[in-house]
Amino acid sequence: MRLSEMREGQTARIVAVNGETRLRRRILEMGLTKGSEIYIEKYAPLKDPLELIVKGCHVSLRVKEASEIQVVSET
C-alpha cells in the first residue's frame, strides 16, 4: 500500500522508499526510513499536503511524494 492511500488516524510502517534519487534522498533525510513507524495526523483541507508524525516529529509531504513510499498498515 502507498502512504498516499492511507486515511487520517492510521498507523503504518515504512517498507520501501522509491522515486528519483533526489526525492528519495530528501525523504530519507527527513527520517522516513525503512522500518520507521508513522502516524497520519491529518490532511490539509484540499487533501494536499498531508501531515505525518515520524519519530516524534511532525512532517508534511505532498501527496505525490507520499505515493513513492510503500507502507504496511498497522491499524
Q: What is the pLDDT of residue 48?
A: 87
The fold adopted by the segment(s) 3-73 is: SH3 type barrels. (2.30.30)
Q: What is the pLDDT of residue 47?
A: 85
For each of the chain's 75 residues, which pLDDT tens digit applies?
999 999 999 999 999 999 888 989 998 988 899 999 999 999 998 888 999 999 999 999 999 999 999 999 886
DSSP per residue over the chain, as a string?
A: -BGGGPPTT-EEEEEEE-S-HHHHHHHHHTT--TT-EEEEEEE-TTS-SEEEEETTEEEEE-HHHHTTEEEEE--
What pTM was computed for the model?
Answer: 0.85
Q: What is the pLDDT of residue 75?
A: 66
Q: What is the pLDDT of residue 74?
A: 80
Domain boundaries, the chain: 3-73
